Structure 1
Amino acid sequence: MGAASSSQPVSPRASLRDRLPDFPWDRLEPYKATAAAHADGIVDLSVGTPVDPVPALVRQALTDAADSPGYPTVWGTAALRDALTGWAADRLGARGLEHTNVLPVVGSKELVAWLPTQLGLGAGDKVAYPRLAYPTYEVGARLAGAEPVVYDEPWELDPSGLKLLWLNSPSNPTGRVLGADELRRAVAWAREHDVLVVSDECYLELGWEADPVSVLHPDVCGGSHEGLVAVHSLSKRSNLAGYRSAFLVGDAAVLGDLLQIRKHGGMMIAAPVQAATVAALGDTAHVAEQRERYARRRAALRGAFEAAGFRIEHSEASLYLWATRDEPCWDTVGELAERGILVAPGDFYGAAGERFVRIAFTATDERVAAAVRRLAE
């Protein structure tokens, strides 16, 4: 009795935290301080956060909907669902979409982190994602108590216990684009083994040397959405990272279950943001304008880093350059920080990235020009 009574209860909060790795970006803080001490200020290329203005028509839609005293719905307004299905049909080539095939979410990171839990996964289940990948895929598996598994090619995975297969094209961090043949093979393999495919396509509208295709395109999925969900976001295409607006498109049965779960959890996009999302999805001019900005910055940074001795791999899409000088990534981070340039170490995205850095081209034109000057010194 005495031994039992002296033991301390286990805190569920502490045990959940113990499942997770340290937050990787905290390790970058000393290098950020070094870069910030540069006489001309920091050039922060470490995080792909938008810096350009929110499009005027989106801000106007937000303002017009500001008088929204009532609760929004988790599924969103009919106008929002119309906008989501219409955009997915036009941009992704997805066929036969109904409102049941779409679901708005509160930013894509929230979705990635909590999807395994919302799918009911846990001990004994496996969640697979690319060997080089956004770290939140692993975090989501660990939050659910499932086993995270990395892959080089999805069809080489052991399907035993595998419940969720993440695809990511264009890739964060590498910018690699999976072709229709690769996506088709992955979908066929997953369907054969009854594995849900969730394709993170948040950078799909940012192809530079390739034309990314959605997992929901008929050439990939055969016209059926069964077992497939695509994740999309307005953070990058429309500079709406601060609005937390993203959405899912795909299998109505899967999204219907998620809708009911998210209703219980109150996971709803604010009503003014829903209206802003409708406006953003209905306009292509601002998307083209933003692409031109990024293309210009990408070209300037790529040329400067290559001239400084870096090799760029993949990077055919997304908002990043995947670069190496064939040295440990933290050595590269440290040397660039001395020049006032902050980049992300490749090992944030897996051990396979330990000799690479990820360079975002989301800084302003002025800061990009500063980086180019410093790299030439």
Structure 2
Amino acid sequence: MNQDRVESLAQFHPFTRLNKLLEGIQPGGGNTPLLLSLGEPQFQPPAFALEAIANAKELWSKYPPTLGTMEFRTAAKAWLMRRYGVESAFIDADRMIAPVSGTREALFHIALSAVALGAPKGKGKVLMANPFYHTYAGAAVVAGGEPAFLPAGPETAFLPDPDAVPPALLREAAMVYLCSPANPQGSVASADFWQRWLALARQHDFLIAADECYAEIYTDLPPPGAIAAAQASGSSDNLLVFHSLSKRSSAPGMRSGFVAGDARYISRQAQLINYGGVAVPLPVLAASTLLWSDEAHVEENRARYQASFDLAQRALGPIFGNVKPGGGFFLWLDVGDGEQAAVELWRQAAIKVLPGGYMARVDADGRNPGAPYIRVALVYEPTQLAGALERMAAVLGSVMDSGDRMRISGRGR
């Protein structure tokens, strides 16, 4: 990889930039630092999952199969059927489902396949919303493709409008990353949204990587799924859906999820794992099988997040209005200057948040659409968040001007 591509890769990592921004600034206010910058649930997974890992200890001595166990694939298929109303005949558990070591790794790897398949046909563009999850852009660069950023601001409900993508860009697309509920804004895609993107993917022959790792955390109704839209169309061609236990089951350390859809790409995914990837260990597969089969712990998780969003609404609603997203566990707050807000929240209140501009790139109008925002991850117990949200409100409220925009002078560096 040449130096230009190395530098391009580095610029997409938001936490490297955040560490540099806050370097040398002491967390203030006499408070214990609270890290709300990273989407890492801080709750324990269900005890039965940990017991399953312990009970399968003899399996640590075995290499795990690339496609996991039939029990795991069957549990993943059954969950897709329950959650999205998918019919059994639509999904072949042997050919259309594969376990993955967390969705981040799988989302990264799929770009290697899609760009390699598209390049001989002049299809090297990797489409993604702007703002975006940094792994998408990093994967595009490493795969030898070119990230192409699609507007996803308030005017499009924070989702990329399929009808607004230039035809020339669609013809050059190897794949598109689509996330619902969206990271960072929590927007929920409709069934119509998925159907329109599927039609474009098949017309122009590119892959949709549907990142649905936040699908089980929502405010009102369950978010529609891309796999249900595919069933309505009669085919899973040009679609892969990615689901994870990191958010659903508060088990990010297990590194367990699955990918389902187009059998051609599932086969490619398996080849990548065989050559240089990491198959999910058998004890983890045993626990994961149980987690995909249980809904009670998911409902408890969802109630916990709802309590946190109620706290956020009470603390921050007087400043920002409605702060509850449609799904996911992030607040996406328009503070006028996300970098300055991040500095002040760390310096005054010992709260670390992520500037929204670090998840976006300058658009055709020379504007970074994420720059006015901060992303706040509500990943702690509500009892831990209550005081932090009040501190946030005090800091942000003290510097909001009459136009409800952040006005911070200096960076406190």
**TM-score under structure 1 normalisation?**
0.90
- The DSSP-based 3-state class of the residue aligned with 2:225 is coil
Q: How far apart, in 2, do the equivalents of 1:90 and 1:223 lie? A: 19
1:343-354 equivalences in 2 (<5 Å): 343-350=353-360, 351-354=368-371
1:59 aligns with 2:50: yes
How far did residue 209 of structure 1 move? 3.6
1:180 aligns with 2:170: no
CA contact (8 A) 2:14 2:359 kept: no
1:61-80 equivalences in 2 (<5 Å): 61-68=52-59, 69-80=61-72
How far did residue 305 of structure 1 move? 1.9
Q: How far apart, in 1, do the equivalents of 2:272 and 2:17 lie? A: 35
What amino acid maps onto 2:317 in structure 1? E
Runs of 5+ consecutive residues of structure 2 not aligned to the other structure: 152-160, 361-367, 395-413
1:355 aligns with 2:372: yes
How far did residue 92 of structure 1 move? 2.2
How far did residue 117 of structure 1 move? 1.1
Which residue of 2 is the match for residue 4 of structure 1? none
What amino acid maps onto 2:101 in structure 1? V
What amino acid maps onto 2:237 in structure 1? E
Which residue of 2 is the match for residue 5 of structure 1? none
1:161-172 equivalences in 2 (<5 Å): 161-172=172-183
Which residue of 2 is the match for residue 137 of structure 1? 136
Which residue of 1 is the match for residue 281 of structure 2? 270
What whole-Å deviation, never above 9, does each CA across 1:131-185 have from its counterpart, x for those lacking one? 1211111111000110111113233322222110111111000001111112111
Q: 2:330 aligns with which of 305, 320, 323?
A: 320
CA change 1:33–1:94 in 2 (3 A) is: farther
1:196 aligns with 2:198: no
What amino acid maps onto 2:91 in structure 1? L
Q: How far apart, in 2, do the equivalents of 1:375 and 1:142 lie? A: 36
Supply the RMSD in Å over aligned alpha carbons: 2.1
What whole-Å deviation, never above 9, does each CA across 1:23-50 have from its counterpart, x for those lacking one? 3212222538746444121122111111
1:104 aligns with 2:90: no
Which residue of 1 is the match for residue 234 of structure 2? 223
1:20 aligns with 2:9: yes
1:369 aligns with 2:361: no
1:240 aligns with 2:240: no
What whole-Å deviation, never above 9, does each CA across 1:260-301 have from its counterpart, x for those lacking one? 232222420111111110011111111111111111011102
Q: 1:91 aligns with which of 64, 83, 100?
A: 83
CA contact (8 A) 1:142 1:148 kept: yes
Q: 2:33 aligns with which of 32, 42, 55?
A: 42
- The DSSP-based 3-state class of the residue aligned with 2:171 is coil
Which residue of 2 is the match for residue 126 of structure 1? 125
Which residue of 2 is the match for residue 3 of structure 1? none
Q: 1:341 aligns with which of 351, 364, 387?
A: 351
Which residue of 2 is the match for residue 8 of structure 1? none
State, as a whole percentage, how many aligned pairs show the same letter. Answer: 30
CA contact (8 A) 1:311 1:324 kept: no
Q: How far apart, in 1, do the equivalents of 2:343 and 2:76 lie? A: 43
CA change 1:304–1:34 in 2 (3 A) is: farther
**TM-score under structure 2 normalisation?**
0.83
Q: How far apart, in 1, do the equivalents of 2:133 and 2:64 lie? A: 30
What whole-Å deviation, never above 9, does each CA across 1:357-377 have from its counterpart, x for those lacking one? 111111223320221332455
Moved more, 136-145 or 362-371: 362-371
Q: 2:291 aligns with which of 270, 280, 301?
A: 280
1:245-260 equivalences in 2 (<5 Å): 245-260=256-271
CA contact (8 A) 1:45 1:360 kept: yes
- The DSSP-based 3-state class of the residue aligned with 2:357 is helix
Moved more, 149-158 or 93-102: 149-158
What amino acid maps onto 2:6 in structure 1? R
CA change 1:238–1:14 in 2 (3 A) is: same
What amino acid maps onto 1:154 in structure 2? P
CA contact (8 A) 2:118 2:174 kept: no
- The DSSP-based 3-state class of the residue aligned with 1:236 is helix
Q: How far apart, in 1, do the equivalents of 2:306 and 2:324 lie? A: 16
How many pairs were matched up?
364
What amino acid maps onto 1:193 in structure 2? H
